[in-house]
């Protein structure tokens, strides 16, 4: 005595994973790309040497390996850093402690 009809079932549409991915350049998210450019430019301005450009390939490979597992790892780290500030007694206890 099943009184369910086909109208009671929800209509599911497939989710295209490509529509949920962040914009990318050379296989890494744009935030990671901007991070590489920013760090390289700051290193060049501080050292005034073109050897600072050697940071870019190393940083690219590190961020490519990091984002290959989870494409939103930098976004998660940014939110975690913003939402979970350090407590004043972290150096004493070695962890965030909200007690005395």
Note the pLDDT tens digit of each residue in 33-75.
999 999 999 999 999 888 888 988 999 999 999 988 888 888 8
Residue 9 has pLDDT above 70, yes or no: yes
- Left (φ > 0), alpha (ψ -120 to 50) or beta: where does 26 sit? left
Residue 28 belongs to what H/E stretch?
A: strand 28-29
pLDDT band at 5 (very low <50, low <70, confident <90, very high): low
Structure tokens at 11: 């209509």
Structure tokens at 82: 């913003």
pTM of the complete model beyond 0.75: no
**For residue 37, which of 25, 22, 21 has the smallest C-alpha distance?**
25
């Amino acid at each position: 005595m099943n009184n369910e009809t086909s109208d009671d079932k929800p209509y599911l549409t497939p989710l295209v994973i490509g529509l949920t991915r962040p914009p990318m350049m050379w296989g890494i998210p744009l935030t990671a790309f901007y991070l590489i450019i920013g760090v390289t430019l700051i290193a060049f301005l501080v050292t005034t040497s073109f050897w600072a450009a050697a940071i870019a390939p190393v940083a690219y490979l590190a961020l490519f390996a990091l984002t290959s597992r989870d494409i939103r790892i930098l976004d998660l780290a940014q939110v975690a850093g913003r939402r979970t500030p350090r407590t004043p007694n972290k150096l004493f206890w070695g962890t965030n402690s909200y007690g005395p």
